[in-house]
């Protein structure tokens, strides 16, 4: 079975971090066309909030920024202000970085 470098990086990251009720894990998932962000409580195995860029307009980076802003606003509505960032094995560059910085600008701390 061929495991990609991204999956190996993600497994390494996940061995060190996990989300709690007070500080959920902000998971970034991206494909060639889309990006999504999810807040997860790993202790209970529950997804708290999830957003996608399916209905958004603009470039891929602009849509990533909008997703970061949206996830932060939804988290604030549920009184979550601190998260653990899980980049999913992707490099902290481009769309992943844009999403993270937009979430920070909107008030999430990680």
- Distance separating alpha carbons of residues 44 and 47, to the nearest angstrom: 9
| Strands, sheet with 25-30, edge to edge from the N-terminal-most edge strand | 46-52, 35-41, 25-30, 84-86
The pLDDT score that the predictor gives to residue 3 is 76
- Whether 84 is in a domain gets the answer yes
Please, which residues bridge with residue 84 across strands?
25
Place of tokens 């529950």: 46
Residue 46 covered by a domain? yes
Residue 93 is assigned to a structural domain of this protein: yes
Q: In this predicted structure, what is the pLDDT of residue 110? A: 92
Range of the domain at 41: 5-105
Query: What is the domain count for the chain?
Result: 1
In the chain the beta strands, taken as DSSP E runs, fall at 25-30, 35-41, 46-52, 84-86
In a domain, 61, yes or no: yes
Does 32 fall in a domain? yes
In a domain, 42, yes or no: yes
- Asked, for residue 78, whether it belongs to a domain, the answer is yes
Domain containing residue 93: CATH number: 3.30.420.100
Give 10-residue mean pLDDT values along the chain (110 residues).
84 94 96 97 96 96 98 97 96 97 96
């Amino acid at each position: 079975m061929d495991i990609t470098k991204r999956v190996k990086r993600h497994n390494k990251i996940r061995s060190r971090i996990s989300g709690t009720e007070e500080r959920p894990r902000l998971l970034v998932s991206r494909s060639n066309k889309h990006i999504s962000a999810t807040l997860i409580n790993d202790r209970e195995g529950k997804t708290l909030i999830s957003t996608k860029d399916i209905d958004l307009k603009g470039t891929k980076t602009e849509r990533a920024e909008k997703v970061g802003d949206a996830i932060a606003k939804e988290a604030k509505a549920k009184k979550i202000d601190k998260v653990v960032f899980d980049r999913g094995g992707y490099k902290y560059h481009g769309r992943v970085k844009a999403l993270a910085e937009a979430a920070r600008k909107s008030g999430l701390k990680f």
